[in-house]
Chain A
Amino acid sequence: MENSSIIQRSIARPEFGPFVLLVVELAVFWGFNHDFLSPQNISNILAFTVELGLIALAMTLLMTSGEFDLSVGSLFGFSPVLMWTLFNSDLTSLEAGFVVALLVAAFIGLVNGWFVTQLKIPSFLVTLGMLLVVRGTALFVTSGFPQRTWSAEGSWLAEALVGDFFIGPFRIYMSLFWFIAAAIALGYVLTQSRTGNWIQAAGGNPNAARARGVNVSGVKIGLFILSSIMASLAGVISSLRTSAANPNSGTGYELEVIAMVVIGGTALTGGRGTIIGTVLGILILRVMRNGIVLIGVPGLAYNIFIGAIILGMMALHSWLERRHQAGT
């Protein structure tokens, strides 16, 4: 009896569906091609996974509060361009350029949050506008050309963010630890802290939260800033790892990140969010991208699978939600 109720409770959790999907995905790809779980391939998957993952973690909190941010992909491209431009033109050191890029990102998040909370414009429109402004700026400043990035060698910033080393046969980048730290910290904030309660209340019933004295606007503005900073950090990490700063990079990432978050079980309408689910959602999409190439499906077919996963998971989440509402 006790056992069956534990099983029932795990099945009812929003993370259960994504977990099963990930396991199935790993098994299928491994079945097709045993190299899929080779140390080299796992290292490859992890390297890029954490960069998008950092954005998805922040987006989870923002979406739990009932908003979302379409400007993250453009910041992913813009921030490294800004950092390298400042550095290449001898205006700042690389580290100072990094700090400036984060501050500019924070300001962009603040503007997003201000438009959404003070002018009451839906976040879809505000961040769509910001996406165009930021991407346009990156293209204009660089005339569309990638920036020189060759001189990051030996910088402690590069070491701290993307320094790599081997654990056994696995090549691990420092960014993996930043991702794990961010996942633990934001998971803690969402489930254990008082702020987490406010984030969920802001998304679930903003009027009720406001009536209890919760600063709903403040919470949302803070999360917009967090989202922008994480997108900026992810862009810089990616740029340092690949030694490239392309003003076009990150195009379309906003939708992939939002897909990761909703696949994991966070509600698009706000009020409910899960960091564990998002980590699973990140892995599901990245493993899918890697796996279908590895087993020989044309890369261009990737979106078909992603779309199918999103539709399938949404159907599952909505079914679980209805069961939950019915109290069964």
Chain B
Amino acid sequence: MAEPLVRMENIRKSYGRVQALVDANFHVNEREIVGLLGDNGAGKSTLIKVLSGAVPLTSGDIFIRGKKVDFRSTSDAIAHGIETIYQDSALVTQLSIARNLFLGREPIKPPRFLNRMDQEAMNVVARDLLKQVGISKNIPPTTPIGSLSGGERQAVAIARAMHFDSDLIILDEPTNNLGVAETQGVLSFVRSARDSGHSCIFIAHNIHHVFQVVDRIVVMRRGKVVADDIDPKSTNVAEVERIITGMSDKEIHDAIVQGKQPQG
């Protein structure tokens, strides 16, 4: 079997005495959309933060295409082709779409010492990318992010990851607070990202959204990966919910009847 795009082995992360990740093993293949599920506190966010370079791991190894890597910052991870998109936080609302797309990598017009951005080139690429991720409305690339809807912002962030050839795009709750049509839009951006050769990790509370788009589901519980090869085509939402909570149908039913929350 081919070496996966990303492989995380025996990842441990502790915050003081709290063990957020306990020997977690996780991988993503090339051109694959992985849905990462788990209850609150299961360790999804910590795993993603480790993979995106936002927090250092306590022990364990990360490999990209079989090569061991060491992330000290988010820019390290981006340089290795891993882009994380948090809702809202990845973009500067005051800047235009084009300026956000190229932030930190603005093309410069000659002569270089004038340090002048090539705004026409940025706008041309931005217009093209917006079309690619399926924004059908005619939004000029000079529009500030602040006046876009939540779904459009996600689209811009995904477009940026695609343009700069990120191999792996991590989407953390991309469908939170979005309407039905916008959610469908984001799901189709994710599919078009895979079709153009990118891999994705998709984290969402809404399991139905995950089922619609992913190739494989991974479930975490109490800092561990408890299932990593669930095929959404051959299972159902109830089954996955059982794995997430670690309870049988009867236990879930009893917990609801007794007014208790299932323990994650």
- Give me the interface of A with B, judged by CB distance under 8 Å: 192-198, 200-201, 203-205, 207-214, 267, 271-272, 324-325, 327
Q: Pick the contact of B95: A192, A197, A211 (CB < 8 A).
A: A197
Residues of A within 8 A of B74 (CB): 210-211
Give the residues from 114 to 128 in chain B that come closer than 8 angstroms, CB to CB, to chain A.
114-117, 119
Pull 25 A–B residue pairs with CB atoms less than 8 Å apart, ordered by A: A192-B116, A192-B117, A192-B119, A193-B115, A193-B117, A194-B117, A200-B92, A200-B99, A201-B92, A201-B103, A204-B94, A204-B95, A205-B91, A205-B92, A205-B93, A208-B103, A210-B74, A211-B74, A212-B78, A212-B105, A213-B105, A272-B94, A324-B146, A325-B146, A327-B147
Contact partner of B90 (CB less than 8 A), chosen from A211, A213, A214, A325, is A211
* CB <8 Å contact, B89 and A201: no
Known interface pairs A213-B78, A325-B146. Does A205 touch B115 (Cβ–Cβ under 8 Å)?
Answer: no
Shortest B169–chain A CB gap in Å is 14
Report the Cα distance A117→B130, complex, angstroms. Answer: 35
Neighbouring B residues of A205 by C-beta, 8 Å: 89, 91-93
CB B129 to nearest CB in A, in angstroms, measures: 16
B93 touches A204 (CB 8 A): yes
Complex-state Cα separation, A211 to B92, whole angstroms: 11
| Residue pair B89, A207 in contact (C-beta under 8 Å) | yes
Contacts of B90 in A (CB 8 A): 208, 211
Establish whether residues A194 and B95, one from each chain, have CB atoms under 8 Å apart when the complex forms: no
CB of A281 to closest CB in B, whole Å: 19
Chain B, interface residues (CB within 8 Å), range: 20 to 34
Among the listed A213, A271, A324, A325, which residue makes an inter-chain contact with B92, where contact means beta carbons less than 8 Å apart?
Answer: A271
Residues of B within 8 A of A195 (CB): 115
Q: 8 tightest A-B contacts by CB? A: A212-B104, A271-B94, A204-B92, A204-B94, A213-B104, A205-B92, A213-B75, A194-B106
Interface string of B67-105 (1 = CB under 8 A from A): 000000011001000001000011111110001001111
CA distance A192 to B106 in the complex (A): 11
Do A197 and B106 form a contact, CB below 8 Å, given A204-B95, A211-B90?
yes
What is the CB-to-nearest-CB distance from B115 to chain A, in angstroms, rounded to a whole number?
5
In the complex the two chains form, is A324's CB within 8 Å of B94's CB?
Answer: no
State whether A193 touches B116 (Cβ < 8 A): yes
Taking CB atoms, residues of chain A closer than 8 Å to B94 are 200, 203-204, 267, 271-272
CB distance from B157 to the nearest CB of A (A): 10
Which of B103, B114, B115 has the most CB atoms of chain A within a 10 A radius of its CB? B103
Chain A contacts for B114, CB-based, 8 A: 193
Question: Most chain-B CB neighbours within 10 Å: which of A198, A207, A213, A325?
Answer: A213
Which B residues touch A197, using CB under 8 A?
Answer: 95, 99, 102-103, 106, 117
Contact of B147 among A200, A207, A272, A325 (CB under 8 A): A325
Most buried by B among A207, A208, A210, A272: A208
A210 to B76, alpha carbons, bound, how many Å?
11
A262 to B89, CA, bound (A): 26
Q: Within the assembled complex, what's the spacing in Å between the Cα atoms of A194 and B99?
A: 10
From residue B237, how far is it (CB to closest CB) to chain A in Å?
A: 33
Cβ of B108 within 8 Å of any chain A Cβ, yes or no, is yes
Q: What chain A residues lie within 8 Å of B105 (beta carbons)?
A: 212-213
5 new A-B contacts at CB < 8 Å, known A192-B119, A324-B144: A194-B117, A197-B102, A197-B106, A200-B99, A213-B78
B103 touches A214 (CB 8 A): yes
In the complex, what residues of B have CB within 8 A of residue A213's CB? 75, 78, 104-105
For the complex, what is the distance from the CA of A325 to the CA of B146, rounded to whole Å? 6
- A194 cross-chain contacts in B, Cβ below 8 A: 106, 108, 115-117
Complex: A159 Cα to B116 Cα, angstroms: 33
* Residue in chain B with minimal CB distance to A203: B94
Task: List, in ascending order, chain A residues with CB within 8 A of B104's CB.
Answer: 198, 209, 212-214
- Residues of chain B within 8 A (CB-CB) of A203 are 94
Q: Which residue of A lies closest to B118 (CB)?
A: A194
Give the residues in chain B near A210, CB-CB below 8 Å. 74-75
Complex Cα gap A104–B249 (Å) = 73
A214 to B105, CA, bound (A): 9
Candidate in B89, B92, B146 with the most chain A CB atoms within 10 angstroms: B92
Closest to B106 in A: A194
Which residues in A have their C-beta under 8 angstroms from that of B99? 197, 200
Could you tell me the distance in whole angstroms from the C-beta of A37 to the nearest C-beta in chain B?
37
Scan B5-24; emit 1 where CB is below 8 A from any A CB, else 0. 00000000000000000000
CB distance from B112 to the nearest CB of A (A): 10
Return the contact of B103 from the options A193, A212, A327 (Cβ within 8 A).
A212
Residues of A within 8 A of B115 (CB): 193-195
Which B residues are CB-close (under 8 A) to A193?
114-117
Q: In whole angstroms, what is the CA distance A204 to B75 when docked?
A: 19
The chain A residue with its CB closest to the CB of B164 is A212
In chain B, positions 48-76 with a C-beta closer than 8 Å to chain A are 74-75
Tell me the residues in window 223-253 of chain B with beta carbons closer than 8 Å to chain A beta carbons: none
Give Cα distance in the complex from A205 to B146, angstroms.
Answer: 12
B144, closest chain A residue (CB): A324
A193 to B147, CA, bound (A): 23
